[in-house]
Amino acid sequence: MDKKTIVSKIGELKSKKKDRKFAQSMEISVNFKEIDLESSDFKLNLNIPLPKGRGRDVNIGVFADGDMNVRAKKLSKFVLNKDELEKYAKDKRKMRKFAGSCHALIAQPDLMATIGKSWGIVLGPKGKMPQPVPPNADLAPVIDKIKNSVRIRSKKNPTIHALVGTENMSPEDLADNTLAVLSGIERQIPKDKIKSIYLKYTMSEPVELI
């Protein structure tokens, strides 16, 4: 798959789309054949950086105490310390709302056991268990990288979907992000196991890449 072909297909998609009152996301769908995505050989659980970004900002939640908590609050409005974690754990609605407001989560390593025990029932099924980050780490680049990455987790259905950007991005930038996602997938699943690939906007019909 080359960039020129993808740019051409995105141009085709743009020419057909209808204007909406919001910036539509662009999504890639990859359909597989002759593989079991529940097999350890092919099961996907990937975080793939998008070289041109997501096209819109997202929230990253932080679980941290002390200095890490103070620094995190300068970068995110979704920050909880250990005491707050435990208070939220008594109210599943509050936990779900917090988790639903965040694209992803990071946590101070020594809080992971507490999080797993009390928040795991909410975060686990959503694929949002936090990434441990050392308390002395520079949080800005960590959060920026996570903001501009997509999570791909395979399920029983032999299809995966992933965001590659928004309609406000150029076809060239969307193509770079599309190639990054495909490259990440193809490092784990052979190309000959890919049946078809589609791109679409939130409210559009898809175009076929292969």
- Backbone phi and psi for residue 25, each to the nearest 5 degrees, phi listed first: -80, 155
Reported as a single tens digit per residue, the pLDDT across 62-76 is 999 999 999 999 999
| Ranges of CATH 3.40.50.790 domains, the chain | 60-146
Is residue 40's pLDDT more than 90?
no
Residue range 3-54+148-208, CATH number: 3.30.190.20
pTM of the model: 0.91
Question: With contact defined as beta carbons under 8 Å apart, do 163 and 54 qualify?
Answer: yes
Q: Where in the chain is the domain with CATH 3.30.190.20?
A: 3-54+148-208
CA distance 11 to 7: 6
What whole-number distance in Å separates Cα of residue 175 and Cα of residue 133? 31
Instruction: Give residue 19's pLDDT.
Output: 87
**What are the tens digits of pLDDT across the range 102-128?**
999 999 999 999 999 999 999 999 989
Superfamily of domain 60-146: Ribosomal protein L1/L10, domain II (3.40.50.790)
DSSP-assigned states of every residue in 128-160? -PPEE--TTS-HHHHHHHHHTEEEEE--SSSEE
With cut-offs at 50, 70 and 90, classify the pLDDT of residue 32: very high
